Structure 1
């Protein structure tokens, strides 16, 4: 398992209006125990595209990157780890909502 240490969230603009709902990009830094297969000395970031549409929300896509190099790590999150990421995004996606009220 991992610990979330920091994150950023930004709304993704859809200039053509072809996507339903709103999309958000999360960059979630995680600390992984040394005995975990995901562990790297460079640290890890999970990049998540998250969708919020009416009453439904979901992770659309996620990638795991080395923190210092930005290199894609060829591993997938396990189901329980992905559930933690999805719950975290559900709790924080509104922070990236920069919609202009006008």
Structure 2
């Protein structure tokens, strides 16, 4: 299981109004136990895009990166971890700067 250590959130600007709803980009530094298959030395962070349209929000996509060199880490979270990530983003998207 992953634990979120720190995060930032920014609203993605859509100057042309092409996309429906609003999008938010999260950068979440995560802690992963050494015995987890997701573990890499130096740690990982997640870049996630969360979409809000009216009262509904959902996780659009996420990518894992190695903290040490910002290299893409081709791995997927488990379903439970994805739900936790989506819930976290839903609870914190409003903290972004307007």
Q: With structure 2 as the length reference, what TM-score do the two structures score?
A: 0.97
Q: Distance in 2 between matches of 1:48 and 1:74?
A: 14
Can you list the C-alpha shifts for 1:27-85, whole angstroms capped at 9, x where unaligned? 00100000111101120101000001101100111000001211010100110000110
Structure 2: gaps of 5 or more residues: none
Q: Partner of 1:84 in structure 2?
A: 84
Q: CA RMSD in A?
A: 0.7
Judge conservation of contact 1:8–1:27 (CA < 8 Å) in 2.
yes
Q: Distance in 2 between matches of 1:43 and 1:23?
A: 26
How many residue pairs align between the two structures? 98
For residues 1-102 of structure 1, the aligned pairs below 5 Å read: 1-98=1-98
Q: Distance in 1 between matches of 2:94 and 2:39?
A: 30
Q: Distance in 1 between matches of 2:35 and 2:15?
A: 44
Q: With structure 1 as the length reference, what TM-score do the two structures score?
A: 0.93
Judge conservation of contact 1:42–1:69 (CA < 8 Å) in 2.
no
Q: Distance in 1 between matches of 2:30 and 2:53?
A: 27
Q: CA deviation at 1:97?
A: 4.5
Q: CA deviation at 1:2?
A: 1.1
The structure 1 segments of at least 4 consecutive aligned residues displaced by more than 2 Å after TM superposition are none
